[in-house]
Amino acid sequence: MNKETPSLSGFYKLNQGERWNRLATVFDLSAEEIGLLKRDGALPHELTDLFIENAVGNFPMPLGLVTNVLVNGEEFAVPFAVEESSVIAASSNASKWVKQSGGFTATCLGSLMIGQIQILDIAPEKMEELADKILASKELLLQRANETHPRLVKRGGGARNIEVRSFPHAEIPFMVVHVHLDTQEAMGANLVNTVCERLAPEIESLVGGRAGLRILSNYADQRLFRAHCKVNPELLALNEPDRKLSGAEVAKRIVEAYVFAKYDPYRATTHNKGIMNGVDPLVIATGNDWRAIEAGVHTYAAREGRYQSLSRWWIDEEGMLNGEVTLPLQFGTVGGVTRLHPVSQLSLRILREPTVKTLSQIACCTGLASNLAALRALVTTGIQAGHMKLHAKNLALGAGARGKEIELVAGEMVKAKDVSATHAERLLEFFRNSSIIDAPVQQSLS
């Protein structure tokens, strides 16, 4: 797919075979690569046994594509590995509103990972003096760090800075040395940890203390990415037969909902979960560490001393709805599972082999899109309306429906506004007893 041609228009209307054919055509995928999708993500035991201990099998995750994601003028189809109904549809719809309004803009605010070296057995009254001593040796320490990874330095990465923090009033007083590293296309955990191990003896010699923990921090506040969008409020208007809301009113309500999340941590937690609905599935699809990213993102949400919204929404002087989100993201496109898992490789192919910066910017945009979709639903029809339409199919399947029965049972549940396991079972029994699987549903059912 190129920058000019949104080649996946109407993708959701295609059947499974048609979707595979479209993917092969748009992304120039081989029969072998399409075969990975037909295997439903199953891995050979050799790989599974390599990834984890005591391997007994695989746990497949649904893989789909978020469409209409226009980032800095370039359009992407974004692979999502996710089990929750409506996440992909919601992100695609919101991305379409943004695309029709000009698209997302995204930037990289910093690209450094942090390594921490804890220093113990230091008298609190000497910490300030010793911190100065460490900083006076910064250039030597950076040189030693870069000697650890000469190939990283050759690729343009390496150690960039040294910082010192002191905790003289802790129950066990300690200092901590931060090493900032540009890990280029790697997430960087192993690179950072190796540097920390290498520098620990040097710092011990400098200050006379004892090195404790030597490990990266997953609070990547030096590796930040930001996404921004403007949305024409007219695209957000609610025009249902029994209820109508102008786009301007919907935009106003979205801003009100954001303010709720800004000040109330109970709301902010769910609000931010909605943002991560648009981030985690991409992290998983590309074989990255979603646990590390979740930990860092939620710490960032509390950086001002209380937990609050990660996104910000406002209406500008022209009446356009503006949204912005800033996230600390620890993606990698090389190393680990990312380069070994065949479906992760395929996901990167569909994204046209992005750099870490591009991949992170895309994640920010899909996170913002997910947030927009959730807020728009919450302030109009309520979150359940769209979610339950998709959830109805799950209930129908759980009740034992197969083939055409699934659509019939799910459709009737939504029509009757009774989406429940009990109703699904009753409907399925009715259809089977009446032998009208291919006939119109009787009006009396609703």
- 10 Å CB burial of residue 251 (0-12, 13-18, 19+) is buried
For residue 163, the 8-state DSSP code is E
Active-site residue flag, 387: yes
DSSP single-letter state for residue 440: P
**Is 289 marked active-site?**
yes
84 is catalytic: yes
Spatial separation of the C-alpha atoms in residues 327 and 371, rounded to whole Å: 13
From the list 289, 341, 357, 405, the catalytic residue is 289
Asked about 28 being catalytic, the answer comes back as no
Q: Closest Cα partner for 162 from 128, 139, 146, 193?
A: 139
Please name which of 176, 261, 282, 180 lies closest in space to residue 223, comparing C-alpha atoms: 180
Helix (H, G, I), strand (E, B) or coil at 304: coil
d(Cα 93, Cα 77) in Å, to the nearest integer? Answer: 13
Distance CA 250, CA 227 (A): 21
Beta-ladder partners of 104: 71
| Bridge-based pairing state of the strands 174-182 and 112-120 | antiparallel
**Of 228, 223, 240, which is closest to residue 288 (Cα–Cα)?**
223
166, containing H or E segment: strand 158-167
Instruction: Exactly one of 271, 387, 391, 423 is catalytic; name it.
Output: 387
Task: Kindly name the residue from 126, 230, 273, 298 that is annotated as catalytic.
Answer: 273
DSSP code string of 397-414: HHTT--THHHHHHHHHHH
Catalytic residue list: 84, 273, 289, 387
